[in-house]
């Protein structure tokens, strides 16, 4: 099972990430505390996605 897609979704209350694998399995995770006072939530989510998560795209989920 390899990761094929990552996406971040944020609003004024919380930031989440969605992971999808090549077998169709998907999962969601929270990347910010709920109701955090993050003024630039989109920039934070974008940074998390590019720096921490994008390196795992294409990797086998059993070896992370």
Q: Which residue has the higher pLDDT, 34 or 19?
A: 19
Q: Please state, in angstroms and rounded to a whole number, the distance separating the CA atoms of residues 28 and 10.
A: 12
Asked if 10 and 42 count as a contact pair (C-beta separation under 8 A), the reply is yes
Q: Report the pLDDT value the prediction gives residue 54, as an integer from 0 to 100.
A: 72
Task: Tell whether the model's pLDDT for residue 39 goes beyond 80.
Answer: no
Q: Report the pLDDT value the prediction gives residue 17, as an integer from 0 to 100.
A: 85
Q: Please state, in angstroms and rounded to a whole number, the distance separating the CA atoms of residues 3 and 23.
A: 9
| Predicted TM-score of the model (pTM) | 0.65
């Amino acid at each position: 099972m390899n990761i094929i897609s990552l996406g971040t979704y944020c609003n004024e209350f919380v930031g989440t990430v969605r992971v999808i694998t090549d077998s169709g399995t998907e999962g969601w995770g929270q990347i910010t505390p709920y109701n955090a006072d993050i003024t630039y939530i989109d920039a934070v989510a974008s940074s998390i996605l590019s720096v921490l998560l994008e390196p795992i795209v294409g990797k086998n989920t059993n070896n992370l």
